Structure 1
Amino acid sequence: MRARRVAATIALALIAAGLAGSAHAERLIVSVSNHRVTVTPNYAGEELVLFGSVERDGPTAAAPDSYDLVVTVRGPRADMVTRRKERRFGIWINTDARQFPNVPGYLAVFANRPIEAIASPEVQRRQQLGLANVRLQEGAGPADAEALADDVFRHAFVRLQSRHGLYREDTTAVTFLTSTLFRTGIPLPAAVPIGTYEVEIKLFANGAYITKTETAFEIVKVGFEQFVASTARQNGFVYGLITTAMALMTGWMASIVFRRD
């Protein structure tokens, strides 16, 4: 009898889990227009297109009236520093600084409507929706805490990155072409960092998080710039010889062009 009761309990648990999973049977199918962006000497920036659809596994539950999407793009990570300057004795000097270790060199958030209208403040913080809620660690040690949105150094860091087009938030960038088909642009400025970019797409309905999916693309240098960057990284001695030879040749050519007869 006890074995039967245990088996019945397990069966009921599996059925309940199946019903709970089928309550939200949506899944996201996405792609980007170009998975490999090449940077040449005359690169001036471009815009990728992310497109996709919301698909349901079956008529397991009534579809919501509308969906919401939040797309977060994170570029290659690096250690960055924000400094505070003050005018003393007639000159501007650095008086304080904060280090932001392992932060995205590019960070963009796109949505189909304001973040506040998509989810509650608690869900926004938990799901890191919007620039104000993306976690950025402040300090270099393991004991250092996450920089809060109202921290003056974090605010200055985000402002400076936004000025160069590297941090951005646009709550009108995602467009639903139909009730399930969507698209958005991903602007890439001329100063975009080289490396792999992670794209995270989160789906919401009626203020509740449903599911997410991820994709990626990379930005690489090609041509002479790539040769110089690779040589400098892999063989510093050869890079030093090449740059020295180029400097000598440039000086020699300049002496010929501008010499006085």
Structure 2
Amino acid sequence: MTRFLALLAALWAGLAAAAARAETLIAAMSTHQIQITSNYTGSQLTVFGLVERDARTVSRGDPYDIIVTVRGPRRMLLVREKERLGPIWINRSQRRFPDNPVFLHVASNRPIAEMMSPETARRGRIGLANAELPQGNWVDLDPGSTRFRESLLRIMQAKDLFGYEERGVTFLSSSLFSAPIDIAATAPTGSYTVDIVLYSGGVPLARQQTNFEVIKTGIEQRLASAAYDWSLLYGFATVLLALFLGWGASVIFRRD
């Protein structure tokens, strides 16, 4: 009896693994590097993907859904709450968000609310508001943290650094899809990760991850490298340039 139960458990595990491998997600990007030049005003890249399905798999009752999440370099973000005191505004309280992405973009082929329940999205950290929630079961003991998280989303969205496109993914066929991603001119340099997840009926079926980077090129990169590698010399050169420009302006606009 014990051997029979063990065999049954092994068979169940094998069937579950086979079901998990029923779909395979293949993704590629139009470019893996965005170069910032002197006339840079932002850029756009496209994520392409293909859903490979096992021919022996029975057709699913629910359609395929794709959610693409792009995360930029991580920094410590600080949100301050201001309060008006008479004719001036003062900082009342603040919250720190350590190790938070400076750039966060979410795209899906249809609204996430139509794919799954809000509880499922929150538990799976799916969507713009849930992407950076702590993992696991946690209880927020700070009643004001939700307000500060909402303020952070609003501020970053106003800077075009956070965004959600509920129909930003387009299925070109039953298995081929694409998702254009706009990179704002204010997006920081560094490495970006792109997480693509395939869903059906709110259940994740396959996942693929790729990346790209935003770098400076030309005179901008040389100046940035000089300021970092030879900071003292760069400071002296900046002071001398400012003095020279000030003297030149005084000569040009001097009144006789």
- Give the TM-score category using the shorter length: 0.7 to 0.9
Can you list the C-alpha shifts for 1:179-238, whole angstroms capped at 9, x where unaligned? 111011111111111111111011101221112110100000112221222222233212
The equivalent of 1:189 in structure 2 is 184
Alignment correspondent of 2:18? 22
Q: Tell me, in whole angstroms, the C-alpha distance in 2 between the residues paired with 1:188 and 1:67.
A: 27
Instruction: Answer with 118-127 or 145-154: which moved more.
Output: 145-154
Counterpart amino acid of 2:173? T
For 1:204 and 1:257, locate their aligned partners in 2 and report how far apart those are by CA, in whole Å: 67
Work out which of the residue numbers 231, 244, 251 in structure 1 matches 2:246.
251
2:193 paired with 1:198: yes
Matches within 5 A, 1:1-261: 13-24=9-20, 25-136=22-133, 151-260=146-255
State percent identity of aligned pairs: 42
Distance (Å, rounded) in 2 between the aligned partners of 1:241 and 1:12: 76
TM-score by length of 2: 0.88
Closer, same or farther: CA 221–9 of 1 in aligned 2, 3 Å: same
Question: Alpha-carbon deviations, 1:146-196, whole Å to 9, x = none?
Answer: 989981111111101000110111111111111111011111111111111
Please report how far the alpha carbon of residue 74 of structure 1 lies from its aligned counterpart in structure 2 after TM superposition. 0.4
Cα pair distance change 1:14/1:136, threshold 3 Å = closer
* Letter of the 2:14 counterpart: G
Query: Measured at CA, do residues 195 and 166 of structure 1 come closer, stay the same or move farther in structure 2, by a change above 3 Å?
Result: same
Q: Distance in 2 between matches of 1:9 and 1:258?
A: 95
In structure 1, runs of 5+ residues without a counterpart are 138-143
Do the aligned partners of residues 190 and 68 (structure 1) sit closer, same or farther apart at CA in structure 2, a change above 3 Å counting? same
Structure 2 segments unaligned to the other structure (5+ residues): none
Q: With structure 1 as the length reference, what TM-score do the two structures score?
A: 0.86
Over aligned residues, Cα RMSD in angstroms? 2.6
For 1:218, what is the secondary structure of its paired residue? strand
Could you say if the C-alpha distance between residues 120 and 254 of structure 1 is closer, same or farther in structure 2, counting changes exceeding 3 Å?
same
Name the CA distance, whole Å, in 2 between partners of 1:136 and 1:232. Answer: 36
> What is the alpha-carbon distance in structure 2 between the residues aligned to residue 196 and residue 67 of structure 1?
29
Change in Cα spacing, 1:192 to 1:149, as seen in structure 2 (3 Å) is: farther
- The 1:253/1:147 distance shift into structure 2, 3 A limit, reads farther
- Is the 8 Å Cα contact of residues 71 and 201 (structure 1) preserved in structure 2? yes
Are the counterparts in 2 of residues 71 and 199 from structure 1 also a CA contact under 8 Å? yes
Report the CA distance shift for 1:235/1:64 in structure 2 as closer, same or farther (over 3 A): farther
SS in 2 for 1:151: helix
Counterpart amino acid of 1:23?
A: A
1:141 corresponds to which residue? none
Aligned equivalents of 2:197 and 2:240: distance in 1? 52
